Each structure stands twice: as structure tokens, then as C-alpha cells.
Structure 1
Amino acid sequence: MTEAVRLDAVSKVYGKGQGAVAALREVSVGVPRGTFTAVMGPSGSGKSTFLQCAAGLDVPSSGAVRLGGTDLTGLDENALTELRRRRIGFVFQSFNLISALTVTENITLPLRLAGAGIDRSWLDEVVHRVGLGGRTGHRPAELSGGQQQRVAIARALVTRPEVVFGDEPTGALDTMTARDVLTLLREAVSALGQTVVMVTHDPVAASYADSVLFLADGRIVDAMPAPTAGKVAERMTRLGAWK
């Protein structure tokens, strides 16, 4: 199985001298294409830094990140911006929708920014899959939190990205709505062959993934295939992280 993302000996240090903090330490891991991977760990373990480096949002202090066949090392900011627009999708806790735009306009924004054409049949399929068929003319203020996150997922999928990165995508949602959003991400992998990498603190959310990577002190300390909420929660207690 080919890898959608590969990190080789990636370290990230913030600050210098006495105040330097190592957020990632020599992390090497590959994410197979067409899989759903959850990333977990205690606060300060390096989860967000892992996602930012893997997604080309931040530059490692050392080591290499590859997206498919592209080495991100040495790409300038313009090249990274172009790569993120065309080849990566993002789903954040805060939705990050533009209030003045309709659902359709928010979903297709990455295509317009990239100067790419809109495949209407694919747009219709994505809108249908996320359950927004009757809402395409609405603006974010007219939608519930769960519906807004569905717009964000559709926006992430519409460019047919190589990877969708989620940073606590269910963190602002109630339990039932979170389950719907996680089911959508799961279906994107199972039905569409999408690759999803999701940072989460929630063992139930992690149980939707194919595997879980556990971070502690900036290192990957364990990986769990076929996770269940119970097994994930138990493993987190042994990381000293479960509160």
C-alpha cells in the first residue's frame, strides 16, 4: 500500500538556547493511502505540531516530509500554499467558514482560490454525501454547528485532496452531532478512498479510525490497529494523559 504522507526523522524545536522547546523528536512514520489515522496524546505531546508539519503548515527544524511523491523540504511559502490548496484538505474545530458566503460558495472556495474549474457532478455528490442538499443557498449563521462542520468537510473533499487533515474536528460538537461527523469522515475513507489524518483527544472519535498513533513528549510511542474506545482509553491512562 503506497503512502500518502511520510515523515522521516522529523524534529521541531521552538525557540533557541535555554528557552528552546522540542515539540517533535525524530518522528518517522508513514500514513498509507486510503486509510483513517487518529493521532492522540497528552496535552503538549506534539499532536498539533505533528499535524502542522505533516500538512505543510509548519516547517520542521530537521528531517523530511513527503506528500505522495513530493518532498516538502525546501519548498518556499508560495509553493507550499499552492500545494495545500490543490492537494490537501483541512477540517478544524472552529469550522473556519466565511460568513458572507453561501454553503456552495464556502465549499468551492478552495477551487476558486486555486483557479481550478468546478466539477458540478462531483460537487453535487459531495453535497449529497454530507447531507446538505437543501442548504446550499444558506449562509453559516443559518446553520447548526453540525451543519457548519459538514460544510467544512465538503470543502475539504471537493478538491479531491490526497489527504484530509482534521484538528479536533468534533471538539465543538455535542455527542450525537460528533458521531454524525465522524461517520462522514469514515465514509469518505471507506467509500471514496480518501486518506484522513485526525488529531483528537476523544477515544470514541479515535475508534472510527483504522489505526491510532500515540504521541508522548514529541515521540510516537505506540500504534494501535483496529482501535476501540475502551482500548484507546486504557492506553491513554498508561501515557499518564487520561483525565
Structure 2
Amino acid sequence: MAEAVRLESLYKTYDNAVTALDGVTAAFADGTFTAVMGPSGSGKSTLLHCAAGLDRPTGGRVFIGGTELTATTDTAMTRFRRERVGFVFQDYNLLPALTVEQNVQLPLRLAGRRADRERGRAILDRLGLGDRLEQRPDQLSGGQRQRVAVARALLTEPAVIFADEPTGALDLRSAREVLTLLRSVVREHGRTVVMVTHDPMAAAYADSVLFLADGRLAGSLTAPTADAVAERLAHLGDLTGVPA
């Protein structure tokens, strides 16, 4: 199976000598849904940011769709990210002054490309938001805002969608709706989703879970259940001395 994302010996250190990533090597296959989990401070968000091209690793290489992202200039990395990577964040990152339709079209505008209203509206229709085009984010529920964020992420037909705690601000029902949606993005649209989460229930929607501890890989779990994930997280917390 082809790889959507590959990380080779990824290191990330900060000025205060903190090592956030310590030689992580991992691959995410096309058309898969992977959750990344670990105790607080394990490096999972840093891993996501480096893999997505939002931050440069101190060492190692990142490949997306066979292109080495870490070998490009910052300008080229930004351009590639806008064209080939989608993002879904905990706080939605929607602009309050823009309508739903305008927020969805924003990646194309930032990339200097013409808006694709037909495709945008088709995606919003599929996500049950076809009647919300002219509404603004403050007129939507949390779950609806996150669906707008997913629609925005899908617009450019990205090679991979990175989701950083996408259900962290949602109630249980809305969280399940968004997780079901992310899973359908993989099953029905053939996209690759890499999701950082602290929630075992959310991780159970993924095909597999990748665990981190102290910036290093600490195992994986295929066909996860919430109970199995919670048990593994508790064990990681015991090993690192950090609550999971």
C-alpha cells in the first residue's frame, strides 16, 4: 500500500534543550485513519505539526505523497501545504466575519487560486450544510462549525488531512458526528487522516493508534477499542511518570 506520509528519524528540540521528538520513524498508508496518542508532553502535537509542515523538525525528513517536505524552502513548504494538506483544529479556525461558503473557499484564496464554488457547495451538501452557506460561524453549533472545517480541509483534495484534537471542544453527540464524518472521509473519499487526540473513545474510530511517550514511539494498536486504548495510555503514564 502506498504511503501518504512518511517520517524518518524525526527530531525536534527547543532552545531550552527540551527534546519534543526523539528519532521518530513512522508511516501512514493511503486511505487510512490513524490516531496519535500519548501522555501530556509526549510530543504528539509536535509530531503532527512537523508532519504537516507547520513546523520544521530539528532533524530527520518528512515525505508527503512521495515529496520530501523538509527539503524545500519555507515558501515552497507553505505552497505545498496549501495545495496538498488539509487541517482540522480543536478551535475550528474559522474566520468569524466570513460566511460558511467563504470560510470553505479560503484555502483557494490564500493559494491565489480561483474559488471553486461548485465543488465547495457539493461538499457542504454532503456534510449536511447546504442550507447554511450564508451563515456565519457564530450562527452554528460546535459540531456544525467542525463540519465546516472538514469541508474546508477537503476542498483542495489533499493527500492527507491532519486533525489536532478535533473533538476537544465538542459535546459527546457532536464529537461522534465529527468522528463518523472523519471516518467517512477515509472510507468514501479515500483520504488519509492523522488525528491527535487524548480521548480513547475518539481513537476507537481510527483504524490504528500510534502511541508516543517522551518523544519516542511507544507501540501501536490495530482495530482499537476505547477500553484497550485507555489501558495502554494508563500504562504509558505509569512508565513516564506523567498522568495520561
TM range, smaller chain: over 0.9
Q: Quote the residue 1:4 is aligned against.
A: 4
Partner SS for 1:147: helix
Q: Distance in 2 between matches of 1:168 and 1:73?
A: 24
1:155-174 alignment runs, 5 A limit: 155-174=152-171
Is residue 14 of structure 1 aligned with residue 14 of structure 2?
Answer: yes
The letter for the 2-side match of 1:71 is: E
Q: Which digits, 9 at most, give the CA deviation of each residue in 1:186-218, with x for residues without a partner?
A: 000000001100000000000000000000000
- Note the alpha carbon deviations across 1:34-57, whole angstroms, 9 max, x for none: 100000000000001000110011
Residue 56 (structure 1) aligned to one of 41, 46, 53:
53
- The whole-number CA distance in structure 2 between the counterparts of 1:225 and 1:74 is 32
1:222 aligned residue: 219
**1:77 matches 2:69:** no
SS at match of 2:143: helix
| TM-score, length-scaled by structure 2 | 0.95
Corresponding residue of 2:104: 107
In structure 2, the residue corresponding to 1:122 is in which secondary structure?
A: helix
Percent identity (aligned): 60
CA contact (8 A) 1:233 1:242 kept: no
Within-5 A mapping of 1:1-243: 1-15=1-15, 19-240=16-237
Which letter does structure 1 place at the counterpart of 2:85?
I
Inter-partner Cα distance in structure 1 for 2:236 and 2:204: 18
Partner Cα separation in structure 1 for residue 236 and residue 210 of structure 2 = 12
Q: CA–CA distance in 1 between the matches of 2:121 and 2:133?
A: 10
CA distance in 2, matches of 1:221, 1:179: 27
* Paired residue secondary structure (1:208): coil
Distance 2:141 2:46 in 1: 30
Aligned partners of 1:176 and 1:135: how far apart in 2?
20
1:129-159 per-residue CA deviation (whole Å, 9 max, x = no partner) reads 2210111110111111111111111000111
Q: Identify unmatched segments of 5+ residues in structure 2.
A: none
CA drift at 1:122: 2.7
Mapped partners of 2:163, 2:99: distance in 1? 22
* TM-score, structure 1 as length reference: 0.96
Cα shift at 1:242? 5.7
Contact 2:164 2:196 in 1 (8 A): yes
Count of aligned pairs: 240
